[in-house]
Amino acid sequence: MRVVMGRAKKVVLAYSGGVDTSVCIPYLKQQWGVEEVIAFAADLGQGDELEPIRQKALTAGAKESIVENLIDPFVEEFAFPAIRANALYQGRYPLSTALARPLIARRMVEVANQKNADAVAHGCTGKGNDQVRFDVVFASLAPGLKVLTPAREWAMSREETISYGERYGIPAPVSKKSPYSIDLNLLGRSVEAGVLEDPNMPPPEEVFAITSSIDQAPDEGQEIEIAFQAGNPISINGDLLDPADLVRQANFLAGKHGFGRIDMIEDRVVGIKSREIYETPGLLLLIKAHQELESLTLAADVLRVKRQLEMKWAELVYQGLWFGPLKEALDGFFDRTQEDVNGVVRIYLKKGNAMITGRNSTQNSLYSSEMATYGKDDHFNHLAAEGFIYIWGLPTRLWASIKRK
């Protein structure tokens, strides 16, 4: 999506306080003739002090710098649907970063409309996934807005970008010696670059921050209970918690015991394979518990179809299609299935493991002890199995009889 330079007067910029997004401010003004840059930063529970970030955007030349707390919608509108969908991209990654982008982009569109801006912008490069996620959401929600993407076009190295920023009073980052690229929010951390670019190199312990190593995790394990209502987690160990606090508690418990580390080769939207390190202790724990409760409360055919659709849902979110028609249709299917996902799951945490120790649903359990037992209370009609097997095996027997001729 290439934009003709110099035609946008007022731009809302996705701002993180990092090198690229900071340099975007003077670059848009000096190179592309933008008159006003409005920096927008989202508090997604990353734990950073955001007032310095707001001030840094003003120092870099932004006309206005906005920081908004979006933690509650992030958890309720994005994380919880991902839990109900058991969303794991390529079977492993629970989308902690991907879930944040459509929320930020949606809010940027709203701010652009409120401020009468004629463009939105981001500092994503041409190699990553985030450029796709931002651009597609912008096109879906506000096709009339221009999209400016300076980092795809300025062709500056990291060192050149830092030097360019210093010319406009943007200080070099204190952490510029760190080789890692890190993204953080309430749902987890993603880490790449540096020695991690060698897929055969074990990740050094320094890349982890919110999960204990197996060596440092407590020797004594801990059993916890997670309760769900209509597919959403509502309590841990009997304590009813609001959604954001529940995720924080899940992060703390799982992270303390070393659960939630992922080291994977991932297929980006643009076709590049990348090595990614994720720490997603709480989200991964909640999805694991939710899957277990579904095994107790959903019919077998519903489970089979849902497992197939979960993979597609995760792909759509990863690929930036949160507001697309297929994702919306799948949401309708998932929402219906979750009406019956009510109950409690017990999990034992120890040394990087999360082992299911029990599951119960007084309202919606499809498990019948009278059918499952081999004891004296067995109510299953064993003789009925003969007729079932005869009908079930009929196509195979017919096929076999023809093959023998």
What's the mean pLDDT in 1-17? 73
pLDDT at 6 over 50: no
Query: Catalytic one among 20, 135, 183, 340?
Result: 20
Of all residues in the chain, the percent with pLDDT exceeding 90 is 75
Say how far apart CA 244 and CA 103 lie, in whole Å.
16
- 211, 364, 201: which is closest to 279 by C-alpha? 211
Q: Is 401 a catalytic residue?
A: no
Say how far apart CA 354 and CA 288 lie, in whole Å.
8
- Least trusted range by pLDDT, from 2-6, 38-42, 213-217, 304-308: 2-6
Q: Is 118 a catalytic residue?
A: no
Residue 125 pLDDT class (50, 70, 90 cuts): confident
- 279, 263, 288, 286: which is closest to 355 by C-alpha? 288
Query: Catalytic one among 84, 130, 275, 361?
Result: 130
Phi and psi at 363, nearest 5°, equal -90, -40
- 183, 193, 131: which is closest to 158 by C-alpha? 193
Q: Is 181 a catalytic residue?
A: yes
Q: Is 178 a catalytic residue?
A: no
Phi and psi at 82, nearest 5°, equal -65, -35
* pTM reported for the whole predicted model: 0.92
- Least trusted range by pLDDT, from 39-48, 101-110, 327-336: 39-48
pLDDT at 5 over 50: no
Label the pairing between strands 232-236 and 222-229.
antiparallel
Residue 128 pLDDT class (50, 70, 90 cuts): confident
- Per-residue pLDDT, 213: 96
Interval 358-400: pLDDT, tens? 999 999 998 887 777 677 777 777 888 889 999 999 999 999 9
Query: Catalytic one among 175, 178, 181, 369?
Result: 181
Residue 273 pLDDT class (50, 70, 90 cuts): very high
Interval 183-222: pLDDT, tens? 899 999 999 888 989 999 999 999 999 999 999 999 999 9
Per the CB < 8 A criterion, the answer to whether 181 and 193 are in contact is: yes
Interval 313-325: pLDDT, tens? 999 999 999 999 9
pLDDT at 81 over 80: yes
- Least trusted range by pLDDT, from 99-103, 282-286, 364-368: 364-368
pLDDT at 4 over 80: no
- Per-residue pLDDT, 1: 37
Sequence-separated (6 or more) residues with CB below 8 Å from residue 44: 70, 71, 74, 100, 103, 104, 185, 186
Sequence-separated (6 or more) residues with CB below 8 Å from residue 287: 82, 83, 86, 87, 88, 94
- Per-residue pLDDT, 274: 93
Per the CB < 8 A criterion, the answer to whether 156 and 127 are in contact is: no
Residue 297 exposure: Cα atoms within 13 Å on the Cβ side = 26
- 232, 229, 179, 186: which is closest to 206 by C-alpha? 179
The three-state DSSP-derived secondary structure of the chain is CCCCCCCCCEEEEECCCCHHHHHHHHHHHHCCCCCEEEEEEEECCCCCCHHHHHHHHHHCCCCEEEEEECHHHHHHHHHHHHHHCCCCECCCECCCCCCHHHHHHHHHHHHHHHCCCCEEECCCCCCCCHHHHHHHHHHHHCCCCEEECHHHCCCCCHHHHHHHHHHCCCCCCCCCCCCCEEEEECCEEEEECHHHHCCCCCCCHHHCCCCCCCCCCCCCCEEEEEEEECCEEEEECCEECCHHHHHHHHHHHHHHCCCCEEEEEEECCCCCEEEEEEECHHHHHHHHHHHHHHHHHCCHHHHHHHHHHHHHHHHHHHCCCCCCHHHHHHHHHHHHHHHHCCEEEEEEEECCEEEEEEEECCCCCCCCHHHHCCCCCCCCCCCHHHHHHHHHHHHHHHHHHHHHC
pLDDT at 337 over 80: yes
pLDDT at 42 over 90: yes
What's the mean pLDDT in 144-161? 88
- Per-residue pLDDT, 317: 97
What's the mean pLDDT in 15-38? 91
List the structure tokens of 233.
């987690």
Of all residues in the chain, the percent with pLDDT exceeding 70 is 96
pLDDT at 68 over 70: yes
Query: Catalytic one among 16, 65, 96, 101?
Result: 101
- Per-residue pLDDT, 316: 98
Interval 233-261: pLDDT, tens? 999 999 999 999 999 999 999 999 999 99
pLDDT at 351 over 60: yes
Q: From residue 162, give the alpha-carbon distance in Å to each of 38, 156, 179, 340, 401.
A: 21, 9, 14, 54, 76
253: phi > 0 → left, psi -120 to 50 → alpha, else beta; which?
Answer: alpha
Domains of the chain: 10-178 (3.40.50.620), 182-360 (3.90.1260.10), 369-404 (1.20.5)
Say how far apart CA 86 and CA 312 lie, in whole Å.
11
